[in-house]
Amino acid sequence: MKLILTAIALFTLLNGQAQCIADSTANVFTFDYDGKVYEIVKETKTWADAAACAVENGGFLAEIDSQAEQDTIWSALQMAGITNSNTVAPDGGGASYVWIGGNDLATEGTWVWDGDNNGSSVQFWQGTSSGSPVGGLFNNWGNEPDDFNSNQDNLGLALTDWPLGVAGQWNDVASTNTLYFVIEHPVNSNSIEEENKIRFSLYPNPVSDELTIELPFIFDMPNEQKIFIYGNEGKLIETVLIDGEIMKIDTRVYEAGLYHAYVNDIHIKDFVVQH
């Protein structure tokens, strides 16, 4: 279940990945969405070990609440340099997956978000593939869940197609699979960067045609101000001179993908371009 960052979790987030991640430089792909930091960890663990590592690293396995969050994570997965054959669940139709924070470990068919595996959870689905969402909460199942061999209690986001679904959808797979995983960090309003992000609004996200950035406090800042847009590989894509409190950026010329928006040297938000 999503929790507020503690002081220890904030220290971990700001000072590097936890020791449960062997090589945080090569094997962690970081992005953000809606004021939250996410990490795609390209090291294989069982679901329980992945959840424990997420907690040790100051977060929890991602709990996907909306289509926009799903789309952002999916776009980031395409850019993270994942070798699909390294993160396969044989019982999941032989497809490749990453762990996210859902399970029905406590009661079969009662699917909950419990990405830190602490037993405090929110139910989002009841039943098998013929079941239904709970409280209108978001879901993205393939023709699943089916509890194949009565042994599939944890949630994987598919990177490749399988007989009952396609890449990007969710499947229930056995917790003993060793897979890559996605960590989500909660919003922390006490960090300097998060305070800077709160000052600015960026929408829509994902965007297809035109991105709006609202800069209500920009004229409190000295000298000439600029917006810098970077691609996910760190390449500067566009520089825009700020001449008002509401700026419009034409994203029709951008390739689909994840981008990083800065005002001067302040990282304000990331956004996804979809065409």
CATH code of 263's domain? 2.60.40.10
- In the chain, how long is the greatest CA-to-CA distance? 65
* pLDDT at residue 107, rounded to an integer: 96
Residue 148 lies in a domain: yes
Q: For residues 174 and 208, state if they share a domain.
A: no
What is the per-residue pLDDT for 231? Answer: 85
| Whether residue 178 is found in the same domain as residue 240 | no
Q: Which residues contact 271 (CB under 8 A, 6 or more apart)?
A: 202, 205, 206, 207, 211, 258, 259, 261
CB 106 within 8 A of CB 114: no
Give the per-residue pLDDT at 199: 62
Q: Which residues of 123-133 are buried (b: 16+ CB within 10 A; e: fewer)?
A: bbbeeeeeeee
pLDDT of residue 187: 65
Q: Residue 179 corresponds to which amino acid?
A: L
Clarify whether residues 164 and 255 are in a common domain. Answer: no
Query: Does residue 189 lie within any of the structural domains?
Result: no
Does residue 148 sit in helix, strand or coil?
helix
Q: Give alpha helix (H) positions in the chain.
A: 7-14, 24-27, 47-56, 67-79, 192-198
Which residues lie closer than 8 Å to 106 by C-beta, 6 or more apart? Answer: 112, 119, 121
pLDDT at 190: 44
Mean pLDDT by 10 residues, the chain (275 residues): 40 55 89 86 98 94 94 92 97 98 97 94 95 94 97 98 98 98 76 52 90 75 77 85 91 90 78 87
Same-domain status, 180 and 205: no
Domain identity same for 169 and 231? no
pLDDT of residue 143: 98
Give residue 13's identity as a one-letter amino acid code.
L
- How many CB atoms are closer than 10 A to CB 221? 14
Gap between the Cα atoms of 269 and 59, Å rounded: 19
Residue recorded with tokens 């897979």:
179
